[in-house]
Amino acid sequence: MANIHDVAKAAGVSISTVSYALSGKRSIGEETRTRISAAVRDLGYRPNAGARMLASTKAHILALSAPLRSDTYAPAHMAFVLAVVQAARGHDYDVLLLTEDEATGGLDRVAASNLVDGVIVLDVAAKDERIDVLRSIQTPSVLIGVPDDTDGLVCVDLDFRASAKLAVDTLTAAGHTSIGLLGQPEEIYARGSNFPLRFRAGFDDAVAAAGVSSAFAMPGPKGAKGALDELFEALPEMTGLVLNCEEPIQERALDILREQGLSIPDDMAVISACSSFDTSRLSPALDVIPLVAADSCVRAVELAVAQLVGEIKPGVELIEPRYVDYGSVSPVR
């Protein structure tokens, strides 16, 4: 049976354009409308009954579940919130922000009151309490993140495992055989946040496949200094360092390396991995595998809107990582 993706592909337009043409929410050019109508007719596409009913009672509001916790790094968190809001406005939707730390209460309330047409979930944990709620309600939902159990869910996110592999492969290609990973604070892993766990798993797999020495450390009570001390103790010959942590920790790590008389990239090759900030402003500028909020947020909103006019298959979409070279990696001496 044809779905809205098939119609969009056949007509050569986006899913949201098909949605607007079918709902009449926006004015669509006559030529475009004709192509969409022909594709609908040729494919025999029929929105399901639930979608037709929803389309007639749309509130044009999306709920964004984005809990603010004590360990939330606000700049990165709010970059994703803003990206969702901007993407939603592009589809004529407003956003109801749910920031409570209690995971399920807000979702229960908005679902029970029919306040919103769809739900987008941020800060996903590997075992997230909100998933049971999402599966129990009729409101379409999209997760920006990948929990352990993705059955029946629509998820989109950067491929953190592939990002870790890209970092390790870049360092090993430059001849580095002793590589450290400076990660997030311990409490982030302890509460099961999905993205650092996926990155670390990808790092472990990549160094094992490459056959190089590695170590992992988290900033604890002694901060970045204590974590770097751990790495150098485990890897006295460390020449490659991957930073998968927030901007203040990365800045402090660079200060410590400088205080120890280590030059980047001559003495230490450093890669900033999955960072949502501009690493060209650091001293020195760091090669980066960027985490661009708009990439996943725009797609999440598209997937949410698509569910309002037709069925889409549950699944996980992973965004391929890219590498930006600022000169912080050179061949090992």
Which residues in 122-228 belong to E strands, given as ranges?
A: 141-144, 154-158, 178-182, 213-217
Dihedral angle sign, alpha carbons of residues 229, 180, 289, 131: negative
Using CA atoms, how far apart are residues 147 and 194, in angstroms rounded to an integer?
6
pLDDT in tens, 18-63: 877 776 656 678 888 888 888 888 887 765 544 444 444 577 899 9
pLDDT value at 299 more than 80: yes
Closest CA relative to residue 274, chosen from 157, 150, 146, 147:
157
Task: Check: CB of residue 304 under 8 Å from CB of residue 275.
Answer: no
Closest CA relative to residue 299, chosen from 142, 117, 64:
142
What tokens appear for 219 in the block?
């900033």
What is the reported pLDDT for 104? 66
Task: Check: CB of residue 178 under 8 Å from CB of residue 144.
Answer: no
Instruction: Tell the CATH superfamily of the 160-290 domain.
Output: Response regulator (3.40.50.2300)
Rounded (5°) CA angle 181-150-242: 10
Q: What does the pLDDT average to over 271-275?
A: 98
Closest CA relative to residue 39, chosen from 8, 79, 66:
8
Tell me if the domain spanning 56-158+293-319 has CATH number 3.80.10.10: no
What is the reported pLDDT for 26? 64
- Residue-averaged pLDDT of the chain: 89
**Residue with structure tokens 């075992």?**
127
pLDDT in tens, 136-180: 888 899 999 999 999 999 999 999 999 999 999 999 999 999 999
Task: Check: CB of residue 40 under 8 Å from CB of residue 7.
Answer: yes
Kindly tell me the burial class for residue 149, based on how many C-beta atoms sit within 10 Å of its own C-beta (0-12, 13-18, 19 or more): exposed
Helices (H) and strands (E) in the chain, counts: 13, 11
Q: Where are the domains of the chain?
A: 4-46, 56-158+293-319, 160-290
Task: Check: CB of residue 155 under 8 Å from CB of residue 134.
Answer: no
- Say if 56-158+293-319 and 160-290 have the same CATH topology: yes
Q: Output the pTM of the full model.
A: 0.80
pLDDT in tens, 191-249: 899 999 999 999 999 999 999 999 999 998 889 999 999 999 999 999 999 999 999 99
pLDDT value at 291 more than 60: yes
